[in-house]
Amino acid sequence: MAGEDELKLLGTWASPWVSRVKLALHLKGLSYEYVEQDLDNKSDLLLTSNPVHKKVPVLIHNGKPICESVVILEYIDEAYGTTGPSLLPTDPYERAIARFWVDYIDQKLVIPWKVAFTADGEEEKTEGIKQMLAVVQTLEGALKECSKGKPFFGGDSVGYVDIALGGLLAFLQGTEELCGTKPFDIANTPLLLAWVERFTALDAAKVALPDVTKLVEFAKTKRLRI
Amino acid sequence: LQSTSYRHIASAQSSMQKHHTIWKKNRQNMSSEKQETAAVRVLGRWPSPFVIRVLIVLGLKGVDHELVEEAVGNKSELLLASNPVHKMIPVLLHHGRPISESLIIVQYVDEAWASHAPALLPSDPYARAAERFWAHYVDDKFPTAIRVLRGRLDGDKDEAAAQVCAALQRLEVAFVECGQGKDYFGGDNVGYLDIALGSHLGWVRAVERIAEIRLLDAAKVPKLAAWADRFCAHPAVADAMPDVDRFVEFSLKNDGALKAASANSK
């Protein structure tokens, strides 16, 4: 039917990758239907929409599925290019830098975090923490470089890198309880600390991010698979 | 420092006349851009499929560039300064500004030289998302498995081969969806996903010989097998990706040494 635009998001409440998509949809002012998935008992819709990976998030736009959080983010930005703010910069070089840092976050932050959280041995855990903190330190530098004194990686407004890191925020805020170390501190990562405060105050963040206490509780009891 | 020169233009087959015309036109644009220090430099080394991607896209777009060869096992000051985060090749330097990560570089070249045909990604957002999804998939499934099959990484070779074959089966289906029955994933022209997957073909064909297995089996993945021949024969690709013999030669010389060294250190 003419004028109908249907967005459906398949996700799980705790997933940071799903949070990323929720953030983007809210920032763009887009309404969507959210369908919570049971990953221990996968729905037909999930299996047919993401037959390759069978994972969340999946965004279904007018019946057509898009998978992989970063692919979904770029899709939202392009399909809704004239709706709401742009998520990626327009300049090719700045776009490349934004994509680089999102790729960095996905390649380098998550694995040591998981090690720090799940490792049984003290040595392994310490190594995980060390690597995670080194990555966070690099991101502090990235924030300085990208923001150029402005509030966000995207400058004056929230952008692609902000969303990619922002999706992980509830986990990052729960890191002290789950991994035994604070990821951010005033001495080493003052810019990121300020960025966290700013980001969590956003309306989109309040809707898209899970409650930290609930998440920590859940992670502890279920030894969460992200 | 080495300059690439387009020494040989592979003779175009009649079905490739269209592609050849665009490539030739871009090449004419190239020769009129002569500068002291090349505006576009690539830090890399030929056997890397990730470096090959960058060389292919620059060739397709007719962008004059200089290849700065990185020595094996010895990272240059320029590389360390240009990619301090990963310290890896390829790095593209455009007027001195570095861009890293091969797929990011490919998208950058497409966007920075948007006025040069062909566009590497389709205009439809859904079709673009599909190519990006499959490019991620390629890099998830191929590099590690190929390293195992080369003998460069410890692992179960049967499992690695099975993984590559399964991935090719999925990509056989994706080929029709993305390319809509035309010559390339990108349709009439070589596109982003063609480059992402195609850049691995040198090593795929090399490990077929080295490990004595069939991966790109025309009986199992007929469309991809035909596409592979077509892709490798494209002038911009032929310039960037040498013959499979050279890959095999490289592997026998370098991967064997690596394996022996790791065996000695155990």
ipTM: 0.95
| Residue A177 exposure: Cα atoms within 13 Å on the Cβ side | 15
- Measured CA to CA, the distance from residue B247 to residue A103 in angstroms comes to 29
Same-domain check for residues B172 and B69: no
Interface of A with B in 87-116 (CB under 8 A): 92-93, 95-96, 99-100, 103-104
Residues in chain B with CB shorter than 8 Å from the CB of A68 are 132-133, 136
- Of all residues in chain A, the one with the smallest CA distance to B174 is A52
Same-domain check for residues B25 and B79: yes
Q: Smallest CA–CA separation between B166 and chain A, in Å?
A: 11
Same-domain check for residues B184 and B237: yes
pLDDT given for residue B14 in this prediction: 38
- Of all residues in chain A, the one with the smallest CA distance to B83 is A100
Residues in chain B with CB shorter than 8 Å from the CB of A61 are 126
Query: How many domains does chain B contain in total?
Result: 2
As a whole number, the mean pLDDT across chain B is 87
pLDDT given for residue B32 in this prediction: 47
Q: Which of A200, A69, A180, A187 is nearest to A132 (CA)?
A: A180
Same-domain check for residues B141 and B238: yes
Q: Which of B29, B137, B140, B48 is nearest to B91 (CA)?
A: B48
- Measured CA to CA, the distance from residue B160 to residue B210 in angstroms comes to 14
Beta carbons of B86 and A103 less than 8 angstroms apart: no
Q: Which of A17, A28, A49, A52 to mutate to test the interface with B (most CBs of B within 10 A)?
A: A52
Same-domain check for residues B168 and B251: yes
Cβ separation A92–B112 shorter than 8 A: yes
Cβ separation B129–A92 shorter than 8 A: no
Cβ separation B104–A71 shorter than 8 A: no
Q: What is the mean pLDDT of residues B69-85?
A: 92
Q: What residue ranges do the domains of chain A occupy?
A: 7-80, 92-224
pLDDT tens-place string over residues A34-87: 999 999 999 999 999 999 999 999 999 999 999 999 999 999 999 999 999 999
The answer for residues whose C-beta is within 8 angstroms of residue A67's C-beta and 6 or more apart is: A49, A50, A52, A53, A55, A57, A58, B133
pLDDT(B99) > 90: yes
As a whole number, the mean pLDDT across chain A is 94
Contact of A74 with chain B, judged by CB distance below 8 Å, is answered with yes
Last residue of a domain, one of B116, B140, B172: B116
What is the dihedral sign for C-alpha B250, B253, B254, B255?
positive
Q: What is the mean pLDDT of residues B205-210?
A: 95
Residues in chain B with CB shorter than 8 Å from the CB of A79 are 125-126
Same-domain check for residues B133 and B82: no
Same-domain check for residues B245 and B129: yes
Q: Which of A93, A99, A104 sits opposite B85 (nearest CB)?
A: A104
Q: What is the mean pLDDT of residues B115-121?
A: 93
CATH top-level class of A92-224: mainly alpha
pLDDT tens-place string over residues B227-243: 999 999 999 999 999 99
Identical fold, A7-80 and A92-224: no
Same-domain check for residues B149 and B91: no
CATH number assigned to the domain with residue range A7-80, chosen from the 4 options 2.130.10.10, 3.40.30.10, 3.30.70.600, 3.40.50.1970: 3.40.30.10
- Measured CA to CA, the distance from residue A13 to residue B105 in angstroms comes to 34
pLDDT given for residue A221 in this prediction: 87
Q: Smallest CA–CA separation between B249 and chain A, in Å?
A: 32
pLDDT(A28) > 50: yes
pLDDT tens-place string over residues A58-69: 999 999 999 999
Q: Where are the alpha helices (DSSP H) in chain A?
A: 16-27, 44-49, 69-79, 92-104, 110-118, 122-147, 160-166, 169-173, 175-179, 190-200, 203-208, 212-222
Same-domain check for residues B95 and B201: no
For the CA atoms of A59, A63, A64, A68, the dihedral, rounded to the nearest 10 degrees, stands at: 20
Q: What is the CATH number of the domain that holds B71?
A: 3.40.30.10
Same-domain check for residues B9 and B42: yes
Q: How confident is the model at residue B259 (pLDDT cuts 50, 70, 90)?
A: low
Last residue of a domain, one of B116, B150, B167: B116
pLDDT given for residue A222 in this prediction: 77
Q: Smallest CA–CA separation between A201 and chain B, in Å?
A: 30
Position of tokens 């990108």?
B186
Q: What is the mean pLDDT of residues B122-148?
A: 97
Same-domain check for residues B223 and B171: yes
Q: How confident is the model at residue A224 (pLDDT cuts 50, 70, 90)?
A: low
Q: Which helix (H) or strand (E) holds B97?
A: strand B97-100
Q: What is the mean pLDDT of residues A185-205?
A: 97
Cβ separation B105–A96 shorter than 8 A: yes
| Residue A205 exposure: Cα atoms within 13 Å on the Cβ side | 19
Q: Provide the domain limits for residue B200.
A: 125-264
pLDDT given for residue B34 in this prediction: 47
pLDDT tens-place string over residues A116-164: 888 888 999 999 999 999 999 999 999 999 999 999 999 999 999 999 9
Q: What is the CATH number of the domain that holds B133?
A: 1.20.1050.10
The answer for residues whose C-beta is within 8 angstroms of residue A186's C-beta and 6 or more apart is: A193
pLDDT above 70 as % of chain A: 97
pLDDT given for residue B2 in this prediction: 39
Cβ separation A92–B97 shorter than 8 A: no
Cβ separation A95–B97 shorter than 8 A: no
Residues in chain B with CB shorter than 8 Å from the CB of A74 are 128-129, 132
Cβ separation B126–A79 shorter than 8 A: yes
Q: Which of B94, B101, B125 sits opposite A75 (nearest CB)?
A: B125
The answer for residues whose C-beta is within 8 angstroms of residue A161's C-beta and 6 or more apart is: A98, A101, A102, A105, A142, A146, A153, A154
Residues in chain B with CB shorter than 8 Å from the CB of A96 are 99, 104-105, 107-108
CB atoms closer than 10 angstroms to residue A186: 8
pLDDT given for residue B264 in this prediction: 53
pLDDT given for residue B24 in this prediction: 53
